[in-house]
Structure 1
Amino acid sequence: MSASGWMFWAVLSAVFAALTAVFAKLGVSGVDSDLATLIRTAIVLLLLAPLVWASGKWSDPFALPPRVLLFLALSAAATAASWLCYYRALQVGDTAQVAAIDKASVVLVALFALAFLGERLSWLSWLGVLLIGAGAVVLSVGASRGH
């Protein structure tokens, strides 16, 4: 798995997402989930700003095309909403259960990518999407019956 390929970065993303869920579950104990989300977001900013600057990747964001800024702003709004909901769910639900439903977003990504980006998946990929969705349902139903 080459460090320049998408698979390398996707696997690292999955590892860090898993750690995010566990650390977040521990972090939302005894604190308002919205405040916890704000603190997390501030720390992300504090970590990423020096990284972008030190790597020489900083440029004037206002020089970007308006369409790019619009979609980055929409992505940020969706991220904020997702994180607020995720932390609230972690506060009251089991971590594996919450993460499974959250990762069911893969199903929505495939559908949205088809509808809005024209991306096409093979039948085998659609089978994988279906299995991810089914797995999320089985995990959430199974966990709710266990309580």
Structure 2
Amino acid sequence: MPPETVLKPGWWWFALGAAVFAAATTLLGKVGVGTVNSNVATFIRVVVMLVTTAGLLSFRGEWTGFQGISVRNWLIVIASGVATGLSWLCYFRALQLAPASRVAPLDKLSVALVLICAFVFLGEAFTWQTALGGALIVAGVLLVSLA
């Protein structure tokens, strides 16, 4: 395993937290975009994220963390931000157009895409367990979202 992919303590809890908050995002988002333009809802979400993150940086005294970021890393993080924004715009619009129980699983095809891209571009291990798990995710998505 490349050194940057070594598991560090606490990773599981943060990943589980991400799943719980992602579920809350879907459920709250579905209710919230019922009568609100999905792009406006996404903008509100971004403002809340900005304020929340600024508060966290202030609370933890991490505003100095911007020092030493290379141009390459700035560009990569900015590209990640653009991808996140486009994902959110698509996600909220999809929630306006379809039931959350169909949208959320289809969104999770990202897991299979990450598995493939992590293998191809990041050199992460692609074992039979990873392949089977990815295939089961895809099968589950197809069963739930396209039924």
**TM-score over 0.5 (shorter chain):** yes
SS of corresponding position for 2:125: coil
Is 1:115 equivalent to 2:120 in the alignment?
yes
Match of 2:63 among 54, 58, 61: 58
Q: How does 1:130-141 map to 2 (within 5 A)?
A: 130-141=135-146
Give the RMSD, CA atoms, in angstroms.
1.5
Find the counterpart in structure 2 of residue 97 from structure 1.
102
Q: How does 1:1-147 map to 2 (within 5 A)?
A: 4-59=9-64, 61=66, 63-142=68-147
Deviation at 1:10, TM superposition (A): 0.8
Contact 2:105–2:144 at 8 Å: present in 1 too? yes
Deviation at 1:61, TM superposition (A): 2.8
Deviation at 1:101, TM superposition (A): 0.4
SS of corresponding position for 1:59: helix
Quick one: structure 1 residues 39 and 68, their matched pair in 2 at CA, closer, same or farther if it must change by over 3 Å?
Answer: same
Find the counterpart in structure 2 of residue 145 from structure 1.
none
> How many residue pairs were aligned?
140
Counterparts of 2:74 and 2:50 in 1: how far apart (Å)? 18
TM-score (norm 2): 0.90
Q: Structure 1: which 4+ aligned runs deviate by more than 6 Å?
A: none
Counterparts of 1:19 and 1:11 in 2: how far apart (Å)? 12
Counterparts of 1:128 and 1:60 in 2: how far apart (Å)? 36
Deviation at 1:94, TM superposition (A): 0.7
Identity of aligned residues (%): 42
- What amino acid does structure 2 have at the position aligned with 1:38? F
Deviation at 1:60, TM superposition (A): 5.8
> More relative contact order in 1 or in 2 (CA 8 Å, sep 6+)?
2
Specify every segment of 5 or more residues in structure 1 that has no aligned partner in the other structure, as ranges. 143-147
